[in-house]
Amino acid sequence: MSKAATDSPPSARRRQADRVALSDRRLMDAAIGLIVKVGIRGTTLQAVGELAGYSRGLATHRFGSKAGLFAKVLQEASVDWLDRVHVAVGERVGVDALMAATDAAEVFIRERSEEVRAMYLLWFLSIDPSAEYKSNITIVHKAQRRDVAQWVKAGQTAGTIDPDLDPMRVAEQYAASMVGIIYQWLANSKMPLSSMFRQLKADLKIRLENKAPSETLKRQKAIRAV
């Protein structure tokens, strides 16, 4: 009896799913490489398919258009970024969470520098009124700000972050600082990235840490006792 005849439907489906996942990864890597090398305008479905070892037909079938391709690239890169941050932060809150998130961002940038560069190119393209492709970068930025604000609020509840600070304002400024540092490094790879992140973390500690945590804890205990 042939192998094909003995394969169960679930096994065949798993192999098909594996092939699809592999082709997706190759297409994504090819797209990222082309975006970084020849730019957004020079990246075509045909070139992506050929570089990945497939055909333009597969790239077109999988993504539909260049806009669909770019949307998938940005989605994959953004999810990768946010997932790494969440894993690094874990159950941490407050300043500790921000320190872990910042460290995770630096690791991501160094390990997946082309992915980060492609992500930023697509982000900044979205503010060009004449661009054919416009990404919804507000979704990613909103998720980042939401996470940071939650970490800050949790730190305030724990008494480790100044209770007078506005969590969303802290989140907005943190996100802006991260975007600015990364953009400068992408424009000039000789910029001391690690030093910039270390300074950011030092500034965050000075600004956020509660100078009188014992008093905050006393107030919290008094409120709970009422």
Q: Are 45 and 63 in contact (CB under 8 A)?
A: yes
Cβ count near 215 (within 10 Å): 12
Lowest average pLDDT, out of 23-27, 87-91, 218-222, goes to: 218-222
Shared domain for 194 and 174, answered yes or no, is: yes
Domain boundary among 44, 64, 84: 64
The pLDDT score that the predictor gives to residue 89 is 96
Is residue 98 located within the same domain as residue 8? no
In a domain, 69, yes or no: no
Rounded to whole angstroms, how far apart are CA atoms 3 and 57?
30
What range defines the domain where residue 173 resides?
Answer: 74-225
Same domain, 2 and 37: yes
Judge if 2 and 57 occupy the same domain.
yes
* Together in a domain, 96 and 146: yes
Q: Which residues pair with 161 in a beta bridge?
A: 209
Bigger pLDDT: 220 or 29?
29
Residue 57: Cβ within 10 Å count? 11
What pLDDT sits at residue 9? 67
Residue 61 is predicted with a pLDDT of 87
Whether residue 84 is contained in a domain is answered as yes
Q: Which residues contact 62 (CB under 8 A, 6 or more apart)?
A: 23, 24, 27
pLDDT, tens digit, 9 for 90 and up, residues 3-23? 555 555 667 666 777 777 888
pLDDT tens figures, 141-157: 888 999 999 999 999 99
Q: Length of the chain, please?
A: 226
CATH code, domain carrying 148: 1.10.357.10
Task: Return the exposure string of 15-49: e unless at least 16 CB atoms fall within 10 Å of the residue's CB, then b.
Answer: eeeeeeeebeebbbbbbbbbbbeeebeebebebbb
Q: What is the CATH number of the domain that holds 52?
A: 1.10.10
Q: What does the mean pLDDT of the chain come to?
A: 86
Question: Do 56 and 82 have their domain in common?
Answer: no
Do 79 and 119 sit in the same domain of this protein?
yes
